[in-house]
Structure 1
Amino acid sequence: MDMLKPEARSQLMAKIKSKNTKPELVVRSLLHRMGFRFRLHRRDLPGTPDIVLPKYKTVIMVNGCFWHGHANCPKAKRPSSNTDFWYKKLDDNIARDRENVLKLEELGWRVMVIWECQVKDVFKLEARLASIEGLYG
C-alpha cells in the first residue's frame, strides 16, 4: 500500500530527473578533465544517449540502478507495493534499453553503460573511461 496520497506521489515523481543527474554530471566532469570532448543527449540516436563521443564512435549511458534494473544491485530492489505496475514499468525500461543498445551497435556505435553505483569509485571509473581512448583511439 502506498503511504502517500496520489497528489503527493505525483509531486515526488515529478522531481525525478532524466537528464543532468548527479551520476551523469560526475561522469561528464571526469571525461572533460581527461580531455575528452563530447555531445549530450543526441536525439538523432536511438535512446538519446546521455554522452556521445563522436571521435571514438562511442556512446555512454549513465543508468540509475533502480530505474534501469541493475542486476544484483541493492539499489535496484523493486517496490513491494503496487507490484504489477512496478514490474511492468521496470521490465519495459530494461527491454527498451536492450533494444536501444542493439540499434546503436547496428549503426556502428560502441555502447558503454555506467551504473549509478559505479560512479562512487572515481578511480575505477576513470580507468574504465580511459579505456575508451586506448581501445578506440
Structure 2
Amino acid sequence: MTDVYDKEKRSAVMARVKSKDTSPEKAVRRILTGLGARYRLHRKDLPGNPDIVMPGRKLAVFVHGCFWHGHDCARGARVPKANRDYWLAKVARNKARDEQAALALRADGWIVETVWECELKDEERLTSRLSSRLAAR
C-alpha cells in the first residue's frame, strides 16, 4: 500500500512532528527538577544530541517516543498500514542511529539513560529509577 498523502502533504505533516520540548521530555525534566538535578538541554556537541545532559555527572538522557524509536511496547510495535516499508525502514534507521550515539557517548565515558514514553505511565517508578541513577553519579 502506498502513502495516503502526496509527497508535499506528507512533508508538511512530518515537519509538524516536534523533536524538542515534547510532552514526554517536559515530564522527565519536571521529574529531574523535582529531584534537584541541574541539567542542560539538547547538547549539539555530543553524539545524538541528548535531550537532557548533566555534564558534571557525565550523564546523558534520551527521551524516546515509543513509535519513533521502535520500543518493544504495544505502541512501539505498531506499524502503520499505509507505506509500511517506509516506516519499517525509518524506525530501523532511528534505532541504528540511537545505538551509535549511545556507543559513542559510552566510549567517551558518559552514562546513557534512555527514558521511553510509555515509562511515564508509572511516574513513581520512573522517579525512583532516575533518583537512583543520580545518586550513583
Same fold (TM over 0.5): yes
Bigger mean CA offset, 2-11 vs 80-89: 2-11
- Counterparts of 1:59-74 in structure 2, within 5 Å, are 59-71=60-72, 73-74=73-74
Q: Which runs of 5+ in 2 are unaligned?
A: none
Shift of 1:68: 0.4
For 1:9 and 1:49, the matched residues in 2 are separated by 27
Structure 1 vs Structure 2: percent identity of aligned residues?
47
Shift of 1:12: 2.3
Q: Provide the aligned C-alpha RMSD in A.
A: 1.3
For 2:42 and 2:19, the matched residues in 1 are separated by 11
**TM-score, normalised to structure 1's length?**
0.92
For 1:134 and 1:36, the matched residues in 2 are separated by 10
Shift of 1:3: 3.7
Stretches of 4+ moved more than 2 A in 1? Answer: 1-12
Shift of 1:30: 1.2
Aligned match of 2:30: 29
Letter in 1 for 2:60: V
Aligned match of 1:75: 75
Per-residue deviation, residues 14-42 of structure 1 (Å, max 9, x unmatched): 21100100000000011111100000000
Letter in 2 for 1:117: C
Say how many residue pairs are matched: 135
Q: Is the 8 A contact 2:58 2:109 kept in 1?
A: yes
Shift of 1:84: 1.8
